Amino acid sequence: MTTTAFLRQAALVLAVGFCTVTSALADTTLLNVSYDPTRELYQDINRSFGAEWKAKTGETVKISQSHGGSGAQARSVIDGLEADVVTLALAYDIDAIASKAGLLSPDWQARLPYQSAPYTSTIVFLVRKGNPKQIKDWDDVARPGIQVITPNPKTSGGARWNYLAAWGYALNKYDRDEAKARQFLAALFKNVPVFDSGARGATTTFVQRGLGDVLLAWENEAILAVEELGKGQFEIVVPSMSILAEPPVAVVDKVVDKHGTRAVAEAYLRYLYSPDGQEIGARHHYRPRDPAVAARHAAEFPAVKLFTVEALGGWQKAQTTHFNDGGVFDQIVGGAKP
């Protein structure tokens, strides 16, 4: 008696709703695998592109989004996540999809204008209101006594852009003397009290936890943080020189051929270059490529001397010399340890 009653009750506990997960079936479905800071951007792009595609072809297209750290997302695609298009933080990650899984051709970057990067950004500083520590340029960030918040370059794509921006500045300052540039970076990273694993985690540490004097961040992220998290509490400081961050996009050949979605996937990425797509990008604080759109938003994006990753030898070299185990970054933070 006791037992059966108990079992009946237990069965009730176990019978958590056995619902099925239904996915709304549209005519065509695309999966866009992207990195963290593009969520808001692609929400708008997807809506607007969907409307345009419907008007043009009569076909309804539903675009699913997946976001995460750029490297982790690339790994998921390599391991079988069927992304029709990838829109990641660095070319290195899409290169990995091409080289490790052969899902797209190695010359993918030549297939779309501007090395397949429809919008750009750069690395800027977010400081507290009134800039109490007077942080104006990279030299101030590396000054003793300043607390710098940046995520871990080993786990975050955004942090690698931060690192390379500082590296490029230092190389320029010390006339390409790598030993001195190293010292500069060692001083900078000595100022870092916390390594968050991702860019948005670092922003939260700076904004919500009140830690640090300056946050190194993508320009679009810094503007978003000011707007969303604390109007009037923070200021953006643009350094004299920074890196041209070019987040690339690509169609994943093997997947679109399997899904039969090549036409719409290619149209989707080309839409990013169209005046409408560029305008949406600019509204989400990405620097547009289209000169007309750029002129309209010139006030938001202060002129800054920019250099590219290619000027530093390209991603492959940057990754192996700086970020791999035992690389320059490991040597620097190993030495900076208290």
Partner 1 sequence: MAVAAVAVAGSQRHRALSEPRWVRWLLTGLALATFGLFLLLPLLTVFGEALAKGVSSYWAALSDEDALAAVRLTLLVAGITVPLNVVFGVIAAWCVAKFDFAGKSVLISLIDLPFSVSPVISGLIYVLLFGLQGLLGPWLAALGIKIIFAVPGLVLATLFVTFPYVARELIPLMEEQGTEEEEAAVVLGASGWRVFWRVTLPNIKWGLLYGVLLCNARAMGEFGAVSVVSGHIRGQTTTMPLQVEILYNEYNFVAAFAIASVLAMLALVTLAVKSALEWRFSKEIAGMGH
Partner 2 sequence: MSAAKSSVIPGFGPTLGFTLFYLGLVVLIPLAALLLRAAGLGWGQFVDAAFSARVLAAYRLSFGGALLAAAANVGAGLLVAWVLVRYEFPGRKLVDALVDLPFALPTAVAGIALTAIYAPNGPLGRLLLQAGIKVAFTPLGVVVAMVFIGFPFVVRTVQPVLQDLEVEHEEAAVSLGANRLQVFGRVILPAILPALLTGFALAFARALGEYGSVIFIAGNMPGLSEIAPLLIVTKLEQYDYAGATAIAAVMLVAAFTLLLLINTLQKWRHARLHGG
Q: Which residues bind partner 1 (CB under 8 A)?
A: 1-3, 5-7, 9-10, 13-21, 23, 31, 36, 39-40, 64-68, 73, 76, 78-82, 100-101, 198, 200, 224-225, 228-229
Residues 6+ apart with CB under 8 A from 293: 275, 278, 279, 282
Q: How many CA atoms lie within 13 A of 291 on its CB side?
A: 0
Minimum CB distance to partner 2 smaller for 175 or for 325: 325
21: Cα separation from own chain's centroid: 30
Binding residue (CB under 8 A) for partner 2 from 118, 158, 201, 239: 201
Examine residue 261 and tell whether it contacts partner 2 (CB under 8 A). no
Could you say which of partner 2, partner 1, none residue 10 binds, taking C-beta under 5 to 8 angstroms by partner kind?
A: partner 1
Burial letters for 194-225: b for 16+ Cβ neighbours within 10 Å, e otherwise?
A: bbbebbbbbbbbbbeeeebbbbbbbbbbbbbb
Minimum CB distance to partner 2 smaller for 166 or for 238: 166
Could you say which of partner 1, partner 2, none residue 324 binds, taking C-beta under 5 to 8 angstroms by partner kind?
A: partner 2
Minimum CB distance to partner 2 smaller for 119 or for 195: 195
Binding residue (CB under 8 A) for partner 2 from 35, 37, 63, 71: 71
Amino acid 253 reads D
Could you say which of partner 1, partner 2, none residue 313 binds, taking C-beta under 5 to 8 angstroms by partner kind?
A: none
- Least separation in angstroms between residue 74's CB and partner 2 is 8
Closest to 141 (Cα-Cα) out of 241, 227, 36: 241
Cα distance between the two ends of the chain: 66
Examine residue 39 and tell whether it contacts partner 2 (CB under 8 A). no
Binding residue (CB under 8 A) for partner 2 from 54, 129, 176, 209: 209
Residues 6+ apart with CB under 8 A from 275: 290, 292, 293
DSSP 102: -
Minimum CB distance to partner 2 smaller for 286 or for 323: 323
